[in-house]
Amino acid sequence: MRQKSLLILLTAALLSAGLSACGTKNNSDSDTGLEISPISDDGDSAGAETENQQDASQAGDTAENTADDSDTDVISDISDSGQQGDEDNPVSVTFEKSIDEIKSDDGTVICTNSVQMPVVSIKGAEDIAEKINADLEEYYKTFSTGNNGTVEMAREDYAASLGEDGWDFLGYSTDISVKVTRMDDAVISFQITLYDFTGGAHGNYGSGGRNYSAKTGELLSFDEIAGDYEAFHATVLDYMINLAESPAYKDKLFGPPSKDDLDSALFDGDNWVFTRSGISFLAAPYVLGPYASGEIAFMLPYEKAYELGLKEDYRYNGNFVDERYYIYKSDPETFEPIVDGTPDCYFDLDGDGTEEGLAFYGQVVDPETGESSYAFYIDGKDYGDVINDELENINDNGYMENTYALYHADAPDGGVPAIAVLFTEFGEGTDSDGNPVSQPLSFIFGYTKEMGLYYMYWDEGFVTLPRQP
């Protein structure tokens, strides 16, 4: 068995065709880049803040098999497409899916190629949607079975596994998935993730972005989204260097990256997307950190992006969202987690003009007992019990995500700063791919000095993303 380099695969595929708006010191100003703007009571603002999931729509014809091999079976699963959008947003997206099974001469399935592709619709601007879809179709040819190097590797390794020194061959696979990270009247952005399994303990994966102007349909490149690209690039890179040295990132990385390494990892290629939080730069596992750290997202908050020169054309006018990683620190000798309540950022949670120190660790497991608890420190006080009171009935039937969000939540008297805890709950049965049914949820908490942390409400979906099917 051989493990293919995902970095090479991503270069050929995805690239060829915390996360933090918080300050790093109390009562800071320009360093935080944070201004929470008011939202209207009816929620009618540009962006995807009021999306409601619609019924899945039926898509068109069977996907064409682009492979030249006679041992390829095409399973069309486009009827499983989902639709995203709402009545007020002219932009909607459906998702088409196709699955190719590649068999050996003896009928064994040696490789599966699964591809999910978005299709854009824009009410009143069908020509712009057609332009975006044409670019996506051309881009997705990269992922066709005929262009998939994993197929040839599977043939060779399966044949070798039948030899005298062979092994039990486990079929290889490539999976292309996509999620909408921003969808409004200015920008439509997709994060496209490639997962590749070629034997071994686990597969490899990484993501790239496709960002389009909703006004022209043009594919946006990073060097054109600011008035002065050279200055924008340099100052954004400096911001990322500082971010890499923050507590939320230090333990995710192999070590402090050099400026050249970070520049290459984050700015070479198309591994960036517009989101509801800002511009997210994506580093695949092994690029800057170990596999256990997952894909590491470096976030440039919108307010900081505007300050550094992002064009007004790409301004986000929806609910403020700042997605952040939970802190993970461990003792270098014992590897036991360190939970000491030291803030990794400061944020004005109650709107009184003074920033609270935040140290959110998420779910923490005691190495001696194996028991888990929640650790959410605000100004040195742990409010983990408040989180537990709301999640205790479901925490054994799902998992907390590795990020949370500082969020401008809707409230009867207008928008208020809040904390969104993101949790994926398992449902009953499996989906069309055989995976357990799951439901993303956002649990919203408010804070005042008098009440401390308190529960407000929960909502379907993650507040960090437009609503997904």
What local confidence, expressed as pLDDT, does residue 101 receive? Answer: 94
Among residues of the chain, what percentage have pLDDT more than 70? 79
Cβ–Cβ < 8 Å for 299, 331: no
How much is the mean pLDDT over the chain?
80
Nearest to 187 by CA among 208, 209, 210, 212: 212
Regarding whether 187 and 84 lie in a shared domain, the answer is yes
Give residue 36's identity as a one-letter amino acid code: I
For residue 3, tell me if it sits in a domain. no
Range of the domain at 430: 18-39+319-469
Q: Check if the beta carbon of residue 63 is closer than 8 Å to that of residue 77.
A: no
Burial 213-233 (b: 16+ CB within 10 A, else e): bbeebebbebeebbeeeeebb
Q: How confident is the model at residue 148 (pLDDT cuts 50, 70, 90)?
A: confident
Per-residue confidence band for 31, with pLDDT thresholds at 50, 70 and 90 = very low
Amino acid at 75: I
- Domain containing residue 76: CATH number: 3.30.565.40
Q: pLDDT digits over 225-239, tens only?
A: 999 999 999 999 999
Indicate the Cα dihedral angle 457, 460, 463, 466, nearest 10°. -150
Contact present, 382 and 373 (Cβ < 8 Å):
no
- 287 torsion bin: left (phi>0), alpha (psi -120 to 50), beta (else): alpha
> Which one of 318, 344, 376 terminates a domain?
318
CB neighbours of 203 closer than 8 A, spacing ≥ 6? 173, 195, 196, 197
Q: What is the pLDDT of residues 453-463, one digit of tens each?
A: 999 999 998 98
Q: Which residue has the higher pLDDT, 262 or 66?
A: 262
Q: Are residues 80 and 25 in the same domain?
A: no
pLDDT over 90 (residue 313): yes
Q: What are phi and psi of 414, to 5 degrees?
A: 110, -175
Q: Are 235 and 293 contained in the same domain?
A: yes
109 and 81 together in one domain: yes
Q: How far is CA 128 from CA 107, 143, 178, in A?
A: 44, 24, 20
Q: Are 307 and 323 in a shared domain?
A: no
Tokens 């803040």 belong to 49
Domain count within the chain: 3
Q: Is the pLDDT of residue 450 over 60?
A: yes
Instruction: Find the helix packing angle between 229-244 and 259-267, rounded to 10°.
Output: 110
234 and 180 within one domain = no
Determine the distance from the C-alpha atom of residue 323 to the mean position of all C-alpha atoms in its chain, rounded to a whole number: 10
DSSP states along 148-212: -HHHHHHHHHHHHHTSTT------EEEEEEEEEEEESSSEEEEEEEEEEE-SSSS-EEEEEEEEE
Average confidence (pLDDT) over 243-252: 84
Give the integer Cα–Cα distance in Å for 99 and 94: 17
Cα dihedral across residues 325, 33, 271, 267: positive or negative: negative
Eight-class DSSP state of 278: E
According to the model, what pLDDT value does residue 352 have? Answer: 83
* 106 belongs to a structural domain: yes
pLDDT of residue 200: 86
Reported as a single tens digit per residue, the pLDDT across 376-390 is: 999 999 999 999 999
pLDDT reported for residue 351: 81
Confidence of residue 50 (pLDDT cuts 50, 70, 90): very low
3-state secondary structure 367-431: CCCCCEEEEEEECCEECHHHHHHHHCCCCCCEEEEEEEEEEEECCCCCCEEEEEEEEEEEEEEEC
Instruction: State the pLDDT at residue 56.
Output: 30
- 412 and 312 in a single domain? The answer is no
Q: Are residues 293 and 382 in the same domain?
A: no
Question: Are 269 and 329 part of one and the same domain?
Answer: no
Classify residue 450: in a domain, yes or no: yes
Is 247 part of any domain?
yes
Residue 173, strand partner residues: 112, 197
Would the pLDDT of 74 be above 70?
A: no
Is there a domain that residue 371 lies in? Answer: yes
Residue 346: is its pLDDT beyond 80? yes
Between 10 and 212, residue with greater pLDDT: 212
pLDDT surpasses 80 at 63: no
Question: Does position 250 have pLDDT exceeding 90, yes or no?
Answer: no
In the predicted model, is pLDDT for residue 51 greater than 90?
no
Strand, coil or helix: what is 358?
A: strand
What is the pTM assigned to this prediction?
A: 0.71
Q: Output the pLDDT for position 68.
A: 39
The pLDDT of residue 324: 86
CA–chain centroid gap for 215, Å, is 24
Arithmetic mean of pLDDT, 299-314: 93
Residue 282 and residue 362 share a domain = no
H-type helices in 194-349, by residue range? 229-244, 247-250, 259-267, 302-308
CATH number at residue 289: 3.90.640.20
379 Cβ contact list (under 8 Å, min separation 6): 356, 357
On whether residue 34 sits in a domain, the answer given is yes
